[in-house]
Amino acid sequence: MKKHIASLFLLLASVSVFALPGVQQSIPDQSGQFVYYRDSSFERESYVGIIYFDESTYGLRYFAPASDKQAEVKLQFYFTLDTEKAASKGIIEFTGETPPDPFPKSQDETDIVNYLHDIAYEMFPKRIFLGELKEKTSSAETYSQFGGRVTMEYDPMIPVLNLDRIVTSDGKVAFYAVTGGKLTDSSDTSFSDFKGIPAKVSYGSASKIKKGKASDMQIENEGLKSQTFKIDSNWEQKSAASWMLGSVSAIATAALPISDAQKGSLMRMLILGRDHSYPDWSKMKVSDKNGKIELDQVFYDSSSKSFKYDKKRIENIGEGTKSIFSLTVDAGSYNKNKKYFDSIVSSYEVK
């Protein structure tokens, strides 16, 4: 957690202004950022993933989990495009493409690969013609793959295409963002390993926490406001700004030089998963009032098949500086001790 927070400023400072060819992004993409969509145009449960590497290099992936009657299907490929044609005319023309992995073994799988090609040919130009996106917006479009007239809703917080969802003319949501992430390095397989997020949070077994002696914690930041919160003697301090409650929960605080102009990039970083940990965006809650941001999320760790609750509080503590308070807790422990953990988060203040 500390490593993740400490690296945020470096990541924010190193991004390019451009992502899609010819489109200046208010929240620029970073190499390795990806998004997954639930695609309801298929009869079976299906997901489409899009990953960004640079303005000319992307990847597309289709995944459908196994069912009682159908086997699992997964197909992906990477491609490069002609950035000049894309930027000047909105024309998507591939300049290179990897073979589908695995190679299609049936006509149905070949059709899926063609469908992924159509997504690049259709969705990319629509986003390019939309231009710079500074806030949530929608666009009425004709999209034959989704039955004709649709409304495409965009959110700059979502990577790559900024596409949030596609709503058909009869009001049905046909295509919508469910999760996103960022690869940590070239060996990270989080994009190619995604297999969906269970609909219900699994809690497992957990114990009731017996409250210990209360302590008032105060983090001094020279020349800036201080961060304060309340914990008890169950917590062990691991560093000047991090604490652990056994193996079930962690708290970390940070003061980072982040301007208001970088707030969007910071928020995107915080809502994306890392290393096979996927946020369930259907459960995400965001509040931004009077300069105070509250971000509550649920993450699914596919490696351990476990869930975690993550609560962050972000405030201005000085000119061009923001504080981040973060509490992460195993779902089972949070479910058993909700009031205990919520009281810690609600006790957080900057003074």
pLDDT values of the chain reduced to their tens digit, one per residue, 351 residues = 333 444 444 444 444 445 688 888 889 899 999 999 999 999 999 999 999 999 999 999 999 999 988 999 999 999 999 999 999 988 999 999 999 999 999 999 999 999 999 999 999 999 999 988 999 999 999 998 898 999 999 999 999 999 999 999 999 999 999 999 999 999 999 999 999 999 999 998 899 999 999 999 999 888 899 999 999 999 999 999 999 999 999 999 999 998 888 899 999 999 999 999 999 999 999 999 988 999 999 999 999 999 999 999 999 999 889 999 999 999 999 999 999 999 999 999 999
Examine the domain organization and report whether 153 and 239 are in the same domain. Answer: no
| 10 part of a folded domain | no
| 210 and 320, same domain (yes or no) | yes
pLDDT at 42: 94
Domain check: are 75 and 162 in the same one? yes
pTM for the model? 0.92
Cβ(289)–Cβ(324) below 8 Å: no
Kindly state whether residues 31 and 171 are assigned to the same domain: yes
In single-letter form, the type of residue at position 249 comes to S
322 within domain boundaries: yes
Same domain? For 215 and 318 the reply is yes
Q: Which pLDDT belongs to residue 291?
A: 84
Domain membership of residue 12 (yes or no) is no
207 and 186 housed in the same domain: no
167 and 232, same domain (yes or no):
no
- Say whether both 155 and 37 belong to one domain: yes
121 lies in some domain: yes
Instruction: Read off the CATH number of the domain in which 272 is found.
Output: 3.40.1000.10
Helix axes 263-271, 2-13, angle to 10 degrees: 140
Residues 29 and 160 in one domain: yes
170 shares a domain with 138: yes
Q: Count up the domains in the chain and report the number.
A: 2
Rg for the chain, CA atoms, rounded: 22
Whether residue 325 is contained in a domain is answered as yes
Q: Which of 193, 225, 248 is the last residue of a domain?
A: 193
320 assigned to some structural domain = yes
Structure token pair of residue 342: 């919520």
CA–CA separation, 283 and 191 (whole Å): 21
Q: Is residue 193 within 8 Å of residue 288, measured between CB atoms? A: no
User: What does the buried/exposed string (b/e) look like for 313-340 if buried means 16 or more CB atoms within 10 Å of the residue's CB?
Assistant: bbbbbeeebbbbbbbbbbbbbbbbbeeb
* 3, part of any domain: no
Answer yes or no: do 154 and 286 share one domain.
no
Q: Structural domain of residue 48, as residue ranges?
A: 18-193
Give me 233's structure tokens.
């003697």
